[in-house]
Amino acid sequence: MARRSSTGPWIRRAAVATALALAAGVLAAAPAAAASTTYYVSASGDDSNAGTTPSSPWKTLTRASAQTYSPGDAVLLRSGDTWTGETLELHGSGSSANWITLSSYGSGARPKIHPYASVADIPAPNATDIAANGRLYGVYLHNVAGWKISNLEVAYSKSGIVYRNDSSGTRDGLWIENVYVHDIAKWPLDPYPTPDNRVAPLNTATFSMGIYTVLDQSSPSNERLTNVTVKNVTIERTDGPLEIRHADNVDVSGVTATDSARVGVVFTGINYGTIPGTPVGSFRDSSIQRSGAEGMRWGTAGLAFNAVKDFVADNIDVGFTYAPAPYYVDGVGIDYEGLNVNVTVQNSYIHDNADEAVMVYRNPQWSGGVENVNTSLIDNVFENNGLLTNSTHAALLASEFNRHNGGTISGNKIVKTSRSQPLNWVVEHSPVLTETWPVSDYTITGNRVFLPNGNELSRASTGFAAAQGGNHWSYRKYDGSALTDLTWDASSTAWRSGSSVIYIGDEWMHPDVGTFTERVWTAPAAGEVRVSGVARKFDSTAGNGVVASIFHNGALVWSPPAITDLNGQSHDFGLTVAAGDVIAFVLNANGDSSFDKTYWDPEIEQITQNSFVAADDFTGRQGLYGWRYLERTAAGSTPMSWNGGANVWAGSTGTLYAGADWVHPAVGIQAERRWTAPHAGTIDIDGLVRKTDSAAGNGILASIWKNGSKIWGDQSITSLTGTSHALTTTVTTGDVISFVVDSAGDSGNDKTTWNPRIAFH
């Protein structure tokens, strides 16, 4: 990706043929049942004991690690006990039909496996000397399978529970349930992008993992792990909480993963083996929070998919993923990194992530140029993503190299951080930050975009669809006597009229001589709307230009001069609509249709908000969102005038202004920001009034008025710290709340920051 690197060297050293082949596993028939044995381990036991009854337990994990277990056996650690300075390595294999169990016995807290007493006690990472790293694992499974692990705590180690296979033979079954893994740190990090200088087995993991499975792919005879279940686990303070690699039939649920240093939950090489029947691929009912606090060169993600097939993530909460300095790379909620086939994220909440909510990518290091296929986003909520401030970041998608994905993006709710935030970052689009969707064969339907205050945005390009009326938009022509619907042309992904030059695309239109093109929005409900946009020539100033106009139920509401340049004409106004009202954006060829392709991507904001913030609602239109900008004297209040060049409201004298979150009074003339209640109810009025940039001068007097009666102030404001207010009052429809600043006789240094918030209960 142009501005990103890989989100992890997950499979990068393998050739693409290896990445696609990912050796097949063969399911063996279950062995005949045999007598099973239960072994007990207690910190108060004795390794000379038989270990086969609770009254004669072994003492150490070293003794338990020396035993080779058989299918049906169990090794149980006493609840409430702690083993510090030891690790547990499991020997022997069961199967998913006949498990070997590692769990607890007795009452009390989970038994604790603590290779070290604290994170501080874990030796520093050493890439070339294994011994210098000390104890590498909490629980280690090497070339074994068929283990069911439950009711344990594993902490203070370089890795938590690790499964590794580097040999042939069936590897059937790994079950991990009700475990608590925390404070896993100091594994020698992968030195990407330089060659990996770490000695084996340090190079089998990228960093310190809470729960981790991996296959050595150096030999095709090494078998993949099958039938993996992870459920009801809590993983805190790791480099990466959970990564399942090179496994088939994977079912993960009930994961709570928080505060990882490098990355969140990762699935790699899933269901790429030979699987009888329908493969299992599921991750559900889980939460991944605050991933990637220390970042990585190749980027961070809350939930990453690398070479995953036939998989559904359902009801996942992914939030607060970091992309910190010095890398500032990724920080996305969901990462479709590459080679994913039939992978869906649905019914999930993806929020407050540093970068876009979702990245769809084709990793250049190990994908071999093969795109993701059928990666879908269905019925999710994406809210408050793209928070990085190093550049502009989109609300939903970062997409590159996915022209033929074929997935579905439907039924999603996207909540932007602000009106100015773009919806998507699409490298194939110019500009890359856009309200349109990737150029692809995605199926895109029923997605809705909102502002934080609850107002819904209906953007022409975002709602553009292959069905008339989709997302409230329709497409038609007018020949002077009749309106006729246009016909969808899949080859040009545009609405057309036969062989004429009439087109309507996602963010552009083209008229014909004597026939207008019309993009029409139908109001789904009654209320106030804001209609904004710019109409301009798309790519050429040749020709005689076009004539653009906007009609509300057939009545002309906007008609600028002919548009002949690449700057065009902007519109921004409010309307009151009833359900079913029609707003038509009409383009006329002006007598000659040559060079008439016109960019026009209007946005209609449905104003339903119950929270009003002065700066967020600030516009160049009096009355929009209920706000007006006035100069006030004893004789009354009169409107200020809009100064578009300075983006301020200006009064009748040179020092009288109202900006987005500030005002400046004049001597004898107060600056007034007035709000009108759209309906009755109880409101809170919160804010802070302070001098903006200087404590010099004699200060200002601030006051709040309701219907002409003062309800707060006069408050003398003389400092940069200022004074806050928190009021509650009732209003009826049409009541006015005024925020007034007076110069107190001297307007020098009187620029005043005041960004009040009004919220209905």
CA neighbor of 486 nearest in space, from 497, 494, 472, 474: 497
Write down the mean pLDDT value for the chain.
Answer: 94
DSSP 96-115: TTB-EEEEEESSSSPPEEES
pLDDT in the model for residue 11: 36
Does the pLDDT at position 288 exceed 60? yes
CA angle 311/313/319 to nearest 5° reads 145
Average pLDDT estimate for 48-69: 98
pLDDT per residue over 589-639, tens digit each?
Answer: 999 999 999 999 999 999 999 999 999 999 999 999 999 999 999 999 999
Work out the pLDDT band at 34, boundaries 50, 70, 90: low
- pLDDT band for position 35 (cuts 50, 70, 90): confident
- Are the folds of 59-452 and 611-760 the same? no
Instruction: Supply the pLDDT for residue 26.
Output: 30
733-759: pLDDT as tens digits: 999 999 999 999 999 999 999 999 999
Long-range pairs for 541-547: beta carbons < 8 A, 24 or more residues apart: 541/565, 541/566, 541/595, 542/594, 542/595, 543/592, 543/594, 543/595, 543/596, 544/590, 544/591, 544/592, 545/590, 545/596, 546/511, 546/587, 546/588, 546/589, 546/590, 546/596, 546/598, 547/587, 547/588, 547/590
- Res 17: pLDDT: 36
Q: What are phi and psi of 307, to 5 degrees?
A: 55, 60
Mean pLDDT for the stretch of residues 373-397: 97
CATH class, domain 470-607, is: mainly beta
Class of domain 611-760: mainly beta
Take residue 505 and report the two structure tokens written for it. 């695309």
Q: Is 395 left (phi over 0), alpha (psi -120 to 50) or beta?
A: alpha
CA angle 631, 633, 634 (to 5 degrees): 155
If you write DSSP's letter for every residue of 34-66 in order, what string do you get? Answer: ----EEEE-TTS-TTS--SSTTS-B--HHHHHH
Give pLDDT tens digits for 551-593: 999 999 999 999 999 999 999 999 999 999 999 999 999 999 9
Number of other residues whose CB lies within 10 A of the CB of residue 96 = 19
Give the max Cα distance, the chain.
Answer: 101
Per the CB < 8 A criterion, the answer to whether 530 and 577 are in contact is no
Whether 602 and 462 have beta carbons less than 8 Å apart is answered as no
Classified by CATH at the fold level, domain 59-452 comes out as Pectate Lyase C-like (2.160.20)
Ordered by start, the domain boundaries in the chain are: 59-452, 470-607, 611-760
Q: Which residues contact 636 (CB under 8 A, 6 or more apart)?
A: none
What is the Cα–Cα distance from 186 to 755, expressed in whole angstroms?
Answer: 46
pLDDT digit string, tens, across residues 125-167: 999 999 999 999 999 999 999 999 999 999 999 999 999 999 9
Are residues 263 and 8 in contact, defined by beta-carbon separation less than 8 angstroms? yes
Of 29-43, 328-342, 434-448, where does mean pLDDT reach its minimum? 29-43
Name the pairing type of β-strands 397-399 and 358-360: parallel
pLDDT tens, position by position, 447-499 = 999 999 999 999 999 999 999 999 999 999 999 999 999 999 999 999 999 88
Strand, coil or helix: what is 118? coil
pLDDT digits (tens, 9 = 90+) for 239-278: 999 999 999 999 999 999 999 999 999 999 999 988 888 9
Is 413's pLDDT higher than 90?
yes
User: What pLDDT does residue 154 have?
Assistant: 99
pLDDT band at 328 (very low <50, low <70, confident <90, very high): confident
679: β partners: none
